[in-house]
A and B are shown apart, each in its own frame.
Chain A
Amino acid sequence: MAQIMLWEAIQRAHDEEMARDPLVICMGEDIGVAGGTYKATKGLYEKYGPLRVMDTPISEGGFTGLAIGASFLGVRPVVEIMSVNFAWLAMDQMFNSAAKIRYMSGGQLEAPCVFRSAGGAAHQLGAQHSARMEKVFMGIAGLRVVTPSNPKQAYGLLKSAIRSNDPVFINEHELMYNMKGEVPDSEYFHPLEGSDIARSGTDVTLFGYNISVHWCLKAAEILDKQYGISAEVIDLYSLSPLDRAGIKQSVSKTHRAVIAEEDEAPVGVGAEIIAIINEECFFELDAAPVRVHSALVPQPYNHTLEKAAIPDHEDVVKAVLKLFGKA
């Protein structure tokens, strides 16, 4: 098993799928000749040429729609939206065309498209380049939403997303492309549904996805070493559908839940998970579930303000201690 960076994992998934199937193509701004803003398509232009690795004009609505139209005929496009903030411009096509086509055609057409996009607050990118928008995508019928927390997931989720006959939105994080991790040497398909137990525990469940899985893991370490609290960490790599059974199972064991998200409340991932806990295992709870989330502000540029707007592992620790009456 090799240690590779997350961008390399994404690049490898593209490369394997494009080598296998001539109808797998990729497109986006600067992904070809320039090699990709995050290097996720590095070397593919040279290998597969301009017909299959398409440097697009800066027209998110247009090229996303174009990818969807091509997918109606069995082409499997992987669309890179450079920043999730720009996905607003493509959402009309993603939601009104890709997500609805199977239903409104009575099952005649489908849109096996993959939309990859980098979201999240990086370093002082300001209000229009720091969005977390998973909550918008996960409310759309007909669209799958997955989000990798490590290179293995990034590789395996993209492989499965390309093979899937449904449109899949992959929510990546700007700060995670250089993260290193183990990826199997042989071909691997990560499930598009479900959740992973990233760390086993007995006293409280910490739910995270993408970058917040790492806050949860760090918090669990601190809780264990400094406070003797055993935290279980659930990695919700699938945001749509959410893993109801996995959420129920863990909370039924630990009886307490904290959800960590970089998204803002209200109307975030945490709200949805708490609703599921209420529906599935309310009487198992020993305390009201808590969510840790960003402040509801357009992302500030100033470094101190930015840090104040975004939670981290310390906020997760504080939330858990509060649950146990220790803070």
Chain B
Amino acid sequence: MKIEDKKRVLREMVLHRRFEERCYQAYIERKIGGFLHLYPGQEACCNGVMEAARPGHDYVITGYRDHVHAIKCGSDPKEVMAELYGKETGSSKGRGGSMHIFDAAHRFMGGYALVGGPFPLAAGIAKAIQLKGGDEIAICFLGDAANNQGVFHETLNMAALWNLPVLFVCENNRYGIGTSIERSTAVVHQHKRVAAYNIEASECDGQDVEVVYEHARKAVDHVRSGKGPYFLELMTYRYRGHSMSDSRGYRTREEEELWKQRDPIFILRDRLIAAGELTMEAYEALEKETDAYIENEVIKFSEESPEPRVEDLEKYVLADRASQQQWLTGQAA
């Protein structure tokens, strides 16, 4: 990774971290409703992979822990936060919420709330790319627990069978809601499960963004060059609970502290400081600037944006009628 890229990625990861922490606060203040799944601790996963890919060009799909993936693909943080506020200016016009951020213009194909649900959708996106003949790839980010769903195996089989351009990124954060991987899964190292389908797979540290980047480059190149699917497993950890209703009673504070010693932001920050490319003062200023941006722009925009109109409750259920006239009535418009 070039030095300028490392500095930019550090800035982005700080934004991702502070954005999520601000969501936490807004949830406590009841500005955000429903379920809220936060990403702190896992930032190197999304950032490392997407640095190796082409954000906005490649198609990305993920589960419900989706804010950071959308922003990394190019979504405006203001629109993501406004979605959490349920506003008409939100990514999904307030109809989706935290778990359903979408940004088709940046090819962020969404957050989905059925664990494992995006697997076949990702393969389908790859199938469409294959039919259309583009150089894009489909990237599917999901957690380790999703691999216990049947569609994981069904999808791997089809992706290998049809040589689909899809990269599966497994963010192995060791917990499926409140059940540890050792208690739910016979095989802890997920990439081993993929070997059965003749799919290239590897595992690496998910806390060091440069390590993720190096592995992801190989994975992305493999998929983009037409060699078929790839499965990349990143060993990581989420600091907060599965969602806001999770008090983390299933794991020890010592375990959490141990992982925080390998914080993805601090690893990169300290490396840049050691290389003489950054000072602690500059880093602290960056955090303050980021907080100011989130407060003065992101939160302000979300607070001031209008609610969706109740008259539009049924808008977007089906396609706009005028465009469908001939198929609905049998008569040309």
A61 touches B323 (CB 8 A): no
Tell whether A68 is near chain B: CB-to-CB under 8 Å. Answer: yes
Tell whether B158 is near chain A: CB-to-CB under 8 Å. Answer: yes
Give the residue name and chain of the A residue nearest to B121 (CB): A69
A144 touches B125 (CB 8 A): no
Cα A15 to Cα B125 in complex, Å, equals 24
B158: chain A residues within 8 A (beta carbon)? 56-57, 59, 62-63, 66
Cα A315 to Cα B33 in complex, Å, equals 52
Partner of A189, one of B109, B124, B126, B327: B327
A69 touches B122 (CB 8 A): yes
Contact A73-B93, Cβ < 8 Å, known A65-B117, A164-B324: no
Contact A65-B155, Cβ < 8 Å, known A72-B125, A103-B317, A142-B317: yes
Partner of A109, one of B93, B110, B323: B110
Partner of A191, one of B122, B150, B328: B328
CB distance from A187 to the nearest CB of B (A): 11
A141 touches B329 (CB 8 A): no
Tell whether B172 is near chain A: CB-to-CB under 8 Å. Answer: no
A192: chain B residues within 8 A (beta carbon)? 327-328
Tell whether B161 is near chain A: CB-to-CB under 8 Å. Answer: yes
Instruction: In the complex, identify which listed stretch (B15-23, B96-104, B184-192, B281-289) lies at the interface while the others stay far away.
Output: B96-104
Partner of B125, one of A54, A73, A164: A73
B91: chain A residues within 8 A (beta carbon)? 106
CB distance from B160 to the nearest CB of A (A): 11
B128 touches A62 (CB 8 A): no
Tell whether B230 is near chain A: CB-to-CB under 8 Å. Answer: no
Q: A71-B128, A103-B95 are in contact. List 4 more A-B contacts (CB 8 A).
A: A69-B127, A75-B131, A106-B93, A156-B330
Partner of B95, one of A54, A64, A104: A104
Partner of A70, one of B131, B329, B330: B131
Q: Kindly supply a per-residue 1/0 record for chain B positions 229-269, scoring 1 wherever the CB is within 8 Å of any chain A CB and 0 otherwise.
A: 00000000000000000000000000000000000000000
Tell whether A193 is near chain B: CB-to-CB under 8 Å. Answer: yes
Partner of A105, one of B102, B126, B330, B331: B102
Tell whether B297 is near chain A: CB-to-CB under 8 Å. Answer: no
Cα A208 to Cα B158 in complex, Å, equals 40
A61 touches B150 (CB 8 A): yes
Tell whether A278 is near chain B: CB-to-CB under 8 Å. Answer: no
Tell whether A12 is near chain B: CB-to-CB under 8 Å. Answer: no
Give the residue name and chain of the A residue nearest to B331 (CB): A191
Cα A109 to Cα B121 in complex, Å, equals 13
A66 touches B109 (CB 8 A): no
Q: Kindly supply a per-residue 1/0 record for chain A positions 165-202, scoring 1 wherever the CB is within 8 Å of any chain B CB and 0 otherwise.
A: 11000000000000000000000011111100000000
Q: Kindly supply a per-residue 1/0 record for chain B positions 290-333, scoring 1 wherever the CB is within 8 Å of any chain A CB and 0 otherwise.
A: 00000000000000000000000001111100011011111100
B323: chain A residues within 8 A (beta carbon)? 165
| Contact-residue bracket for chain B | 35 or more
Instruction: Enumerate the 5 nearest inter-chain pairs by beta-carbon distance, A residue then B residue, closest first.
Output: A69-B124, A65-B120, A62-B154, A106-B93, A69-B121
B147: chain A residues within 8 A (beta carbon)? none
Q: Which of A140-166 contact B (CB under 8 A)?
A: 141-142, 144, 156, 160-161, 163-166
B126: chain A residues within 8 A (beta carbon)? 69
Q: Kindly supply a per-residue 1/0 record for chain A positions 103-115, scoring 1 wherever the CB is within 8 Å of any chain B CB and 0 otherwise.
A: 1111111100000
Tell whether B132 is near chain A: CB-to-CB under 8 Å. Answer: yes
Tell whether B206 is near chain A: CB-to-CB under 8 Å. Answer: no
B121: chain A residues within 8 A (beta carbon)? 65-66, 68-69, 72, 93, 97
B92: chain A residues within 8 A (beta carbon)? 104-106, 108
Cα A51 to Cα B327 in complex, Å, equals 27
A223: chain B residues within 8 A (beta carbon)? none
A71: chain B residues within 8 A (beta carbon)? 124, 128
Tell whether B180 is near chain A: CB-to-CB under 8 Å. Answer: no
Cα A258 to Cα B23 in complex, Å, equals 56
Tell whether A25 is near chain B: CB-to-CB under 8 Å. Answer: yes
Cα A43 to Cα B128 in complex, Å, equals 23
Cα A72 to Cα B128 in complex, Å, equals 9
A69 touches B154 (CB 8 A): no
Q: Which of B112-138 contact A (CB under 8 A)?
A: 112, 114, 117, 119-132
Contact A106-B130, Cβ < 8 Å, known A59-B157, A190-B330: no
Partner of B161, one of A57, A69, A160, A166: A57
Tell whether B77 is near chain A: CB-to-CB under 8 Å. Answer: no
Cα A220 to Cα B12 in complex, Å, equals 72
B124 touches A108 (CB 8 A): no
Contact A166-B324, Cβ < 8 Å, known A57-B154, A103-B95, A160-B330: yes
Give the residue name and chain of the B residue nearest to A96 (CB): B114
Tell whether B94 is near chain A: CB-to-CB under 8 Å. Answer: yes
B26: chain A residues within 8 A (beta carbon)? none
CB distance from B70 to the nearest CB of A (A): 12
Tell whether A67 is near chain B: CB-to-CB under 8 Å. Answer: yes
B128 touches A70 (CB 8 A): yes
Give the residue name and chain of the B residue nearest to A156 (CB): B330
Give the residue name and chain of the B residue nearest to A105 (CB): B102
B131: chain A residues within 8 A (beta carbon)? 22-23, 25, 51-52, 70, 75
Give the residue name and chain of the B residue nearest to A112 (CB): B319
Tell whether B90 is near chain A: CB-to-CB under 8 Å. Answer: yes
Contact A70-B102, Cβ < 8 Å, known A93-B120, A189-B330: no
Partner of A107, one of B120, B150, B154, B316: B316
A166: chain B residues within 8 A (beta carbon)? 318-319, 324
B100: chain A residues within 8 A (beta carbon)? 104-105
A69 touches B157 (CB 8 A): no
Cα A104 to Cα B101 in complex, Å, equals 8
Tell whether A129 is near chain B: CB-to-CB under 8 Å. Answer: no
Cα A97 to Cα B110 in complex, Å, equals 11
